[in-house]
Chain A
Amino acid sequence: MTLLLTHYNYLVVVVLMMAGFFIVIAQGNLVKKLVGLNIFQTSVFILYISSGKITGGTAPILQDGITAYSNPLPHVLILTAIVVGIATTALGLALVIRIKKAYGTIEESEIQQRDHTC
């Protein structure tokens, strides 16, 4: 139990991950799907960054008298992953705009209906 309380950020990760994943699957609105996808990705960012924390460690700047540093590598990795996430969202939203122009709707069920009628 105490482990859960001291490592609460991992709980947040799990909750966000499941919430995001659920939104992607359950929502029919394409923009909401993208929002869910974003939440899903963000949870992974938190997972990585949490793992970089070292108990008692300080910021990774070389200084006398300090022996324990937090690990900066996960941050750098996630910086890349954030950029990838932004690119994905931008491309997704661009596609949504095009879909809206072509179909006149951004609801999954209506799009599928229109594809089948013509």
Chain B
Amino acid sequence: MLSHLPILQVILPLLGAPACLILGRGKLAWLFALLVSTLSFCIAATLLYTVYHHGVISYALGGWQAPWGIEYRIDLLNAWLLVIVSGSSTISLLAAQSSISTEITLDKQGLFYVAWLLCLAGLLGILATGDAFNVFVFLEISSLSTYTLISLGPNRQSLWAAFRYLIMGTIGATFILIGIGFMYIMTGTLNMADLAERLPSASESPTVFAAYAFILVGISLKLALFPLHLWLPNAYSQAPSIVTTFLAASATKVALYLLIRFTYTIFPSEFSQFIIPLADIFVALGIVAVFSASIAAIYQEEIKRAIAYSSIAQIGYMVIGLGIGGVLGLQAALIHVFNHALMKATLFMALAGIAVRIGATTLTSMQGLGRKMPWTSFGFVAGGLSLIGVPLTAGFISKWYLVSAAALAGRWPLVFLILLGSLLAIIYIWRVVEALYFKSAADNSPVKEAPLTMLIALWLLILGNVYFGIDTRLPVSISYEAATALVEGRP
């Protein structure tokens, strides 16, 4: 049983989805989806524990040995991501039923959980697999269900956002498919470990360069890296609130994982430099993303949209970490992946709670809510503080590691720019805090606190933000080990 955990991780939500369809009704489907997601999280945690203490797990699908069969390969990097993704799915699902009760009609609620579990299965599949073509298949499973989830949003704009994401996402996935095809043509293999062995001998070929270029652009589209981020603000602001919580905490992280995996594991490190200064391009794009998206966030009236823009900025920080490179830069990116999942889930969860009670998340509609829904509003403040990077929150740790990575690399202008970017975050978070606590509401009718399940999920996230801002042993040690293994090219 234990040796089959890598495949169970993916199969469980994949089979759970049709089972959810049979259960049909809203509440029952919700409980079942929550159960499946919790089990996935337990499996991911077990996998992380096993990998941390006993090293890489390789699982041959159907007993066909790699490189002929499909291999699932769990190392620290993807075990870490598996925990993040399944964890954020579980926390969001806990709050899902209360949140969608006002946004999605009852007859569609069962189907909502089917799409959710499929999305989870796809994301976990991308992480677990050690086969390049499998990545494409799982990417499409998760993408198709994501489009469905987004289109379930309350306004008609959600349909348009989903369609645009479908076009962009499919182009991105097809680019990745072309890249994988080129790699297969050059090496005759699809197994990632095998590719890493065989690609260096073909490294002179322009085909390999083209393969890397296609994959890079395809992943950047999925990652919403500036300037390929245009789909994200619409998709995140129009999707049902709880879907945004889940996607913001998981989907872009998985794309970042692919970027790291392809850059460090599959294409050997000397290779990632090719003829173009890739690291510098990453840093430059990251900085532009931080500033353009943060400034755009400041001018948004719809807060869900502002926080979506802030997501693009945070992705910028992660990519800056990648661009700085080395163990420290990579570690900073990996720590921020975890902390960003925590803080963005907190922020969007608080917004989801507000959306349930007052039906909108615009700045004016949120005025004076600090007194009416103190528990929910505090969630936004806590997430915001963490986003800015105030000490004793998780966000401080990621900023600290990012800044020290830049400083140790001797890139002082970069340190300055990162800190300046945080100041912008203060502005767009402060606007909301001001509306919540220092403006009086237009009408003084009382508003109830967010539903209990949402409050529990929200406060778990707040505690996570504080806990991982003080006790950093877990993310720091795991990200350090994972980064060292990647940089040194250990299997």
Contact = CB atoms under 8 A, between A and B. Distances in A.
Interface in B130-169: 133, 136-137, 140, 144, 147-148, 151, 156-157, 159-160, 162-163, 166-167
A19 interface: no
Nearest to A96: B163
B171 A80 contact: no
B408 to A, nearest CB: 42
A98 B148 CA distance: 12
Nearest to B148: A91
Contacts of B185: 51
A109 B159 CA distance: 15
Contact of B171 (A40, A96, A99, A115): A40
B178 interface: yes
B156 A44 contact: no
B167 A24 contact: yes
A18 interface: no
Interface residues of B, number: 24
Contacts of B156: 99, 102-103
For B133, B156, B163, B166, the residue with the greatest tally of chain A CB atoms inside 10 Å of its CB is B163
Contacts, number: 65
Interface in A49-86: 51, 74, 77, 80-81, 84
A41 B159 contact: no
Contact of A81 (B151, B162, B171, B177): B177
A95 B147 contact: yes
A50 B185 CA distance: 10
A12 B147 CA distance: 31
Secondary structure type dominating chain B contacts? helix
B490 to A, nearest CB: 29
A87 interface: yes
A47 interface: yes
Interface in B223-257: none
B178 A98 contact: no
Nearest to A48: B181
B32 to A, nearest CB: 24
Contacts of A91: 144, 147-148, 166
Given A51-B185, A77-B133, A99 B163 contact: yes
Contacts of A21: 171
Interface of A: 21, 24, 30, 33, 37, 40-41, 44, 47-48, 51, 74, 77, 80-81, 84, 87-88, 91-92, 95-96, 98-99, 102-103, 111, 115
Interface of B: 133, 136-137, 140, 144, 147-148, 151, 156-157, 159-160, 162-163, 166-167, 170-171, 174, 177-178, 181, 184-185
Given A47-B178, A84-B140, A92-B163, 17 more contacts: A24-B171, A30-B163, A33-B167, A41-B174, A48-B181, A51-B185, A77-B133, A80-B133, A81-B136, A84-B136, A84-B137, A91-B144, A91-B147, A96-B163, A99-B156, A102-B159, A111-B160
